[in-house]
Structure 1
């Protein structure tokens, strides 16, 4: 394991951290000065002012205690290594270890870390901050067999320092590989149009959950805070063609919407007309049936009267029928047996019409 840096500017040492001090300065502690001051204080405390070897032993004990003491802040975690083996983890607060047999590794666990997939950012004094594309990471295959260029960041932090340091050989590289694999899986389950338009938020959430599940299986000791898609678009070489396809798909959708609107207008109108025709047919049927039933009832009533008095009924039917037939005719029938004194023909109907016209 690398030597621990206590974060105060002191040089790392292979035995862990001494107590943290608020002052600056990168110089190591002056142990001779500490021993001399300790001896002076012990001499003053002992009768006769003489301590001899006892003073040296006491000073060495104090020095060892000082050497083995370390402080873990509230935003940190620590692991204790004994001959390079992880034997314990330390929560925030004061702790003690046994140097030089044990070492202490302290890391901040609330700091956010970020890994970028599909691009790299470099900084230099001459060119400043620049971003470089990584097509080998960003080009991915969609469900509809298109290529999409996806660049994204994964923000994470440590939640278990021991697992983070010792469960994985290369924690940062593992997080990057898992993130790229998860994004490729989600992209392969979606079509290109929603990927670059409306489905980015859903994809980010799904990728975050998949990365977290995979890292938990590895016992990586990491919490994935968020996944941020920086850019998702068609590759530069086919961007113009893809835009043409998008416009065609938009026109197709517009035509479909117009056809649906027309269908929604025509179908109810046709259904109304069909219902009206059905109702008219039902009314006509009811009218015809009622008329037929009436005719049948009248016929049956006449027939019943005919059965009771055949001669009278025949004569009445004959007279009624002749009345209906001759009612609209302009002829006058004169009985030939009436004698020679009767006027054979008198157009009474024409006279009536003429007198009425005058």
Structure 2
């Protein structure tokens, strides 16, 4: 059905088709009542001209199609659309706030890596001071915080404050320190010892953050290194001022009473008083030298002392080897007993000396020492055993020779009692044969012609004389060598009066 109303542009209206039934008798649909112009057209049967101006009542507006509309209805529609838009925006805003709140809450979960510990705080107060590695939770900032701390920071070195520097701030090595009679303040650091000498030293510091609660409360990370070095420097200055330079140059960092140990004690006390939570595990003195001008003199003294220590060590080693090779396990007991025996002899205490001598004999025989510290038998070995065995063999041989001589004398005595003349002749003949059989005796055979006087001019055989001389000198050399060996062996067992010789 075509619209009977005139077109929007005010042109001539369109005619109703002839084949359509008339609509005048039908009631208009709701909201589509005919306008006054349409009613006039129906009555007159003539389509009126569209007006060039539309009039509306107060409170109405003209729609684009030319129909007056109540302004309140139109505003209600706009308000409803705006309300819907605001309602959607509010819902989106609420959802975003929930997302942000969840993200803010989840931000409290933070990882604590290996080698780290964390401190959990709530409103600035420490709630937990030793949170281990893992995924840990804390209230998000600013309500709470999870402060992560590396427990074992890298070592520090103090190489500039007490050591001469070079141009550019680099540190010299010990060999590069110049031999000068003065130091440049602010550039060439030094220490003063108890005897007023100047020394240079360098230190290495190994520390850890022990009490994390105190560390987080009292230490600003940017100031940590400066605070630690200040405490160490104070300790080093105090410790060096308590020793002289000779003691400083000789000791090592591992000694219990060393400068490094004393400096560490003082520095740690200062850090504990400041409640820093830092703990110095090791303070090692990596180098210490005298001033450059006196370095050569100090090195000479140190070399001499080192050489003396080496000689003493070698002498003690040789003494131990000699004593062990002489008496073995019985060295300690024999040395103590011999020393006591010598003291008793000097004091004239014959009874004590006899008792000590009996105890010495007991030790040499491998028996228990009566009334002494060595109640159990001690095994004697080495040179002492050889001497004792030689003495026993010599004693046995001497006894055997004496007994053999005694038996020979008794047989000779019995033979003389039976036939004295024959016994004397046999003894004379044996003695003459023994004398003539010696290598230095020369025998001459002379004819007997019955004369009473026999004159013989003889001279010694030169070859035989040379042989006799060589043999005599060889015998004298052997006797002298044996005598020296005996004296040297006795010197090894001779105890110096007033001294104590130990086997260990």
TM-score normalised by length of structure 2: 0.35
Kindly indicate which of the two structures has a greater share of residues assigned to strand: 1
Larger Rg, first or second structure (1 or 2): 2
Which of 1 and 2 has higher RCO (CA within 8 Å, sep 6+)?
1
TM-score normalised by length of structure 1: 0.47
